[in-house]
Amino acid sequence: MMTKAHKVMVVDDEPDILELLTYNLEKEGYEVKTATNGKKAVTLAQSFQPELILMDIMMPVMDGVEACRQIREMPEMRNTFIIFLTARSEEYSEVAAFDTGADDYLTKPIKPRALMSRINAIFRRESQKTSSEESNLIEVGDLSIDRTSYTLYKGDNQIALPKKEFELLFFLASNPDKVYNRDELLQNIWGNDVYVLARTVDVHIRRIREKIGEHYIKTIKGVGYKFEIPE
Protein backbone atom coordinates (compact mmCIF):
# COMPACT_ATOMS: atom_id res chain seq x y z
CA MET A 1 0.00 0.00 0.00
CA MET A 2 1.29 3.47 -0.88
CA THR A 3 1.22 5.92 2.03
CA LYS A 4 1.21 8.80 -0.41
CA ALA A 5 0.21 8.47 -4.04
CA HIS A 6 2.94 9.31 -6.51
CA LYS A 7 1.83 11.83 -9.14
CA VAL A 8 2.00 10.86 -12.81
CA MET A 9 1.07 13.00 -15.82
CA VAL A 10 0.11 11.38 -19.13
CA VAL A 11 0.36 13.46 -22.32
CA ASP A 12 -1.06 12.09 -25.58
CA ASP A 13 -3.51 13.26 -28.22
CA GLU A 14 -5.10 9.80 -28.56
CA PRO A 15 -8.07 9.38 -26.17
CA ASP A 16 -7.70 5.57 -26.16
CA ILE A 17 -4.08 5.83 -24.98
CA LEU A 18 -4.98 8.32 -22.25
CA GLU A 19 -7.81 6.09 -21.04
CA LEU A 20 -5.67 2.92 -21.10
CA LEU A 21 -2.76 4.44 -19.22
CA THR A 22 -4.93 6.30 -16.72
CA TYR A 23 -6.83 3.11 -15.88
CA ASN A 24 -3.67 1.07 -15.33
CA LEU A 25 -1.88 3.79 -13.36
CA GLU A 26 -4.82 4.45 -11.06
CA LYS A 27 -5.19 0.70 -10.52
CA GLU A 28 -1.57 0.74 -9.25
CA GLY A 29 -2.42 3.55 -6.84
CA TYR A 30 -0.98 6.54 -8.68
CA GLU A 31 -2.57 9.99 -8.84
CA VAL A 32 -3.01 10.76 -12.55
CA LYS A 33 -3.71 13.87 -14.62
CA THR A 34 -3.74 14.06 -18.41
CA ALA A 35 -3.06 16.55 -21.20
CA THR A 36 -3.76 16.26 -24.92
CA ASN A 37 -0.87 18.35 -26.29
CA GLY A 38 2.49 19.72 -25.28
CA LYS A 39 1.28 23.23 -24.51
CA LYS A 40 -1.33 21.93 -22.06
CA ALA A 41 1.33 19.63 -20.56
CA VAL A 42 3.63 22.56 -19.78
CA THR A 43 0.81 24.44 -18.04
CA LEU A 44 -0.38 21.35 -16.15
CA ALA A 45 3.15 20.46 -15.03
CA GLN A 46 3.44 23.81 -13.26
CA SER A 47 0.31 23.26 -11.17
CA PHE A 48 0.33 19.46 -10.76
CA GLN A 49 4.08 19.01 -10.11
CA PRO A 50 4.23 15.40 -11.36
CA GLU A 51 7.00 13.07 -10.27
CA LEU A 52 6.82 11.17 -13.57
CA ILE A 53 5.58 12.15 -17.04
CA LEU A 54 4.59 9.79 -19.87
CA MET A 55 4.61 11.82 -23.08
CA ASP A 56 3.93 11.30 -26.76
CA ILE A 57 6.11 13.09 -29.34
CA MET A 58 3.76 13.77 -32.26
CA MET A 59 0.97 16.01 -30.94
CA PRO A 60 -0.86 19.11 -32.15
CA VAL A 61 -0.13 22.68 -30.94
CA MET A 62 3.23 21.69 -29.38
CA ASP A 63 5.11 18.42 -29.79
CA GLY A 64 6.51 16.38 -26.93
CA VAL A 65 10.16 17.29 -27.51
CA GLU A 66 9.49 21.02 -27.18
CA ALA A 67 7.23 20.40 -24.18
CA CYS A 68 10.00 18.38 -22.52
CA ARG A 69 12.48 21.19 -23.13
CA GLN A 70 10.19 23.77 -21.55
CA ILE A 71 9.35 21.54 -18.59
CA ARG A 72 13.05 20.90 -17.93
CA GLU A 73 13.59 24.66 -17.72
CA MET A 74 11.36 24.77 -14.63
CA PRO A 75 13.60 24.42 -11.53
CA GLU A 76 10.96 22.37 -9.72
CA MET A 77 10.82 19.88 -12.64
CA ARG A 78 14.55 19.06 -12.74
CA ASN A 79 14.06 15.78 -10.89
CA THR A 80 10.85 14.71 -12.63
CA PHE A 81 11.25 11.44 -14.55
CA ILE A 82 10.17 11.89 -18.21
CA ILE A 83 9.43 8.88 -20.42
CA PHE A 84 8.56 9.30 -24.10
CA LEU A 85 5.99 6.86 -25.50
CA THR A 86 5.94 7.26 -29.25
CA ALA A 87 5.33 5.53 -32.56
CA ARG A 88 8.48 7.17 -33.93
CA SER A 89 11.46 4.83 -33.89
CA GLU A 90 13.97 6.92 -35.87
CA GLU A 91 17.29 7.36 -34.12
CA TYR A 92 17.27 11.14 -34.61
CA SER A 93 13.95 11.40 -32.74
CA GLU A 94 15.40 9.40 -29.86
CA VAL A 95 18.53 11.53 -29.72
CA ALA A 96 16.44 14.73 -29.82
CA ALA A 97 14.32 13.43 -26.94
CA PHE A 98 17.30 12.68 -24.72
CA ASP A 99 18.99 15.93 -25.71
CA THR A 100 16.05 17.88 -24.29
CA GLY A 101 16.14 16.00 -20.97
CA ALA A 102 14.15 12.77 -21.37
CA ASP A 103 15.04 9.85 -19.09
CA ASP A 104 13.62 7.02 -21.20
CA TYR A 105 12.20 6.42 -24.69
CA LEU A 106 9.74 3.63 -25.48
CA THR A 107 8.11 2.86 -28.81
CA LYS A 108 4.45 2.02 -29.24
CA PRO A 109 2.45 -0.20 -29.14
CA ILE A 110 2.37 0.04 -25.36
CA LYS A 111 2.39 -3.08 -23.20
CA PRO A 112 0.59 -1.86 -20.06
CA ARG A 113 1.82 -4.57 -17.67
CA ALA A 114 5.45 -4.14 -18.71
CA LEU A 115 5.14 -0.36 -18.49
CA MET A 116 3.57 -0.50 -15.01
CA SER A 117 6.34 -2.83 -13.86
CA ARG A 118 8.93 -0.37 -15.15
CA ILE A 119 7.26 2.62 -13.46
CA ASN A 120 6.91 0.75 -10.17
CA ALA A 121 10.61 -0.15 -10.33
CA ILE A 122 11.56 3.49 -10.96
CA PHE A 123 9.68 4.73 -7.89
CA ARG A 124 10.94 1.81 -5.80
CA ARG A 125 14.54 2.58 -6.73
CA GLU A 126 14.08 6.30 -6.00
CA SER A 127 12.54 5.48 -2.63
CA GLN A 128 15.42 3.19 -1.69
CA LYS A 129 17.93 5.80 -2.81
CA THR A 130 16.27 8.49 -0.69
CA SER A 131 15.94 6.34 2.43
CA SER A 132 19.55 5.19 2.36
CA GLU A 133 21.06 8.49 1.27
CA GLU A 134 23.55 10.11 3.62
CA SER A 135 24.88 13.64 3.51
CA ASN A 136 27.09 13.65 0.44
CA LEU A 137 29.21 16.66 -0.42
CA ILE A 138 32.08 16.71 -2.89
CA GLU A 139 34.30 19.78 -3.09
CA VAL A 140 36.90 19.65 -5.82
CA GLY A 141 38.58 22.49 -7.68
CA ASP A 142 36.03 25.28 -7.88
CA LEU A 143 33.11 22.82 -7.74
CA SER A 144 30.86 22.04 -4.79
CA ILE A 145 28.50 19.10 -5.49
CA ASP A 146 25.88 18.39 -2.82
CA ARG A 147 23.92 15.18 -3.37
CA THR A 148 21.48 15.76 -0.50
CA SER A 149 20.07 18.93 -2.07
CA TYR A 150 21.03 18.23 -5.70
CA THR A 151 22.85 21.56 -5.88
CA LEU A 152 26.00 22.37 -7.80
CA TYR A 153 28.16 25.45 -7.33
CA LYS A 154 31.03 26.57 -9.53
CA GLY A 155 32.75 29.18 -7.40
CA ASP A 156 29.96 31.38 -6.08
CA ASN A 157 27.61 30.62 -8.98
CA GLN A 158 24.92 27.97 -8.65
CA ILE A 159 24.49 25.83 -11.76
CA ALA A 160 21.22 24.05 -12.52
CA LEU A 161 21.64 20.48 -13.76
CA PRO A 162 18.84 18.08 -14.72
CA LYS A 163 18.71 15.02 -12.47
CA LYS A 164 20.57 12.57 -14.72
CA GLU A 165 23.31 15.06 -15.53
CA PHE A 166 23.76 15.72 -11.80
CA GLU A 167 23.86 12.02 -10.94
CA LEU A 168 26.36 11.34 -13.71
CA LEU A 169 28.64 14.16 -12.53
CA PHE A 170 28.35 13.10 -8.88
CA PHE A 171 29.11 9.47 -9.72
CA LEU A 172 32.22 10.35 -11.73
CA ALA A 173 33.39 12.88 -9.13
CA SER A 174 32.90 10.25 -6.38
CA ASN A 175 35.35 7.98 -8.19
CA PRO A 176 38.10 10.28 -9.48
CA ASP A 177 40.68 8.93 -11.92
CA LYS A 178 38.67 5.75 -12.46
CA VAL A 179 37.75 5.13 -16.10
CA TYR A 180 34.18 4.00 -16.85
CA ASN A 181 32.93 2.84 -20.22
CA ARG A 182 29.49 3.84 -21.49
CA ASP A 183 27.84 0.58 -20.46
CA GLU A 184 29.07 0.97 -16.88
CA LEU A 185 27.77 4.53 -16.71
CA LEU A 186 24.42 3.51 -18.17
CA GLN A 187 24.15 0.74 -15.59
CA ASN A 188 25.05 2.96 -12.63
CA ILE A 189 23.01 6.02 -13.60
CA TRP A 190 20.06 4.67 -15.58
CA GLY A 191 19.94 1.10 -14.23
CA ASN A 192 18.29 -1.98 -15.74
CA ASP A 193 14.79 -0.50 -15.76
CA VAL A 194 15.48 2.02 -18.52
CA TYR A 195 16.61 1.37 -22.09
CA VAL A 196 18.73 4.16 -23.57
CA LEU A 197 21.34 4.42 -26.29
CA ALA A 198 25.02 4.42 -25.40
CA ARG A 199 25.29 7.80 -27.09
CA THR A 200 23.00 9.17 -24.38
CA VAL A 201 26.07 9.17 -22.12
CA ASP A 202 27.96 11.27 -24.69
CA VAL A 203 25.11 13.79 -24.85
CA HIS A 204 24.98 14.14 -21.07
CA ILE A 205 28.78 14.47 -20.78
CA ARG A 206 28.76 17.20 -23.43
CA ARG A 207 26.05 19.13 -21.62
CA ILE A 208 27.86 18.84 -18.27
CA ARG A 209 31.10 20.09 -19.83
CA GLU A 210 29.27 23.09 -21.28
CA LYS A 211 28.30 24.07 -17.74
CA ILE A 212 31.38 23.23 -15.62
CA GLY A 213 34.20 23.42 -18.16
CA GLU A 214 36.09 20.91 -20.27
CA HIS A 215 38.90 20.01 -17.85
CA TYR A 216 37.06 17.97 -15.20
CA ILE A 217 35.79 15.06 -17.30
CA LYS A 218 38.38 13.51 -19.59
CA THR A 219 37.61 11.28 -22.57
CA ILE A 220 39.73 8.14 -22.75
CA LYS A 221 39.61 7.36 -26.46
CA GLY A 222 38.13 3.96 -27.22
CA VAL A 223 37.38 3.31 -23.54
CA GLY A 224 35.15 5.85 -21.81
CA TYR A 225 35.33 8.74 -19.36
CA LYS A 226 36.99 9.64 -16.08
CA PHE A 227 36.84 12.55 -13.65
CA GLU A 228 40.16 14.31 -13.09
CA ILE A 229 40.95 16.41 -10.03
CA PRO A 230 42.68 19.57 -11.25
CA GLU A 231 46.14 20.25 -9.87
Percent residues over pLDDT 70 in the chain:
90
Assign 128 a pLDDT band (cuts: 50, 70, 90): low
Assign 222 a pLDDT band (cuts: 50, 70, 90): confident
Q: What is the rounded distance in angstroms from the CA atom of residue 130 to the CA atom of residue 147?
A: 11
The pLDDT value recorded for residue 129 is 54
Cβ atoms within 10 A of the Cβ of 68, count?
28
- The predicted-structure confidence for 79-95, as pLDDT tens digits, reads as follows 899 999 888 767 777 77
Residue range 111-134: mean pLDDT, rounded: 72
Closest CA to 171 of 187, 194, 153, 149: 187
Residue range 57-64: mean pLDDT, rounded: 93
Fold of 133-227: Arc Repressor Mutant, subunit A (1.10.10)
pLDDT above 60 (res 78): yes
- CATH 3.40.50.2300 for domain 7-131: yes
Better-scored residue on pLDDT, 211 or 96: 211
Residue range 26-49: mean pLDDT, rounded: 96
- The predicted-structure confidence for 160-181, as pLDDT tens digits, reads as follows 898 899 999 999 998 888 889 9
The pLDDT value recorded for residue 223 is 85
| 166 burial level (CB within 10 Å; 0-12, 13-18, 19+) | buried
Closest CA to 203 of 182, 187, 221, 177: 182
Q: What is the rounded distance in angstroms from the CA atom of residue 38 to the CA atom of residue 127?
A: 29
Structural domain spans, the chain: 7-131, 133-227
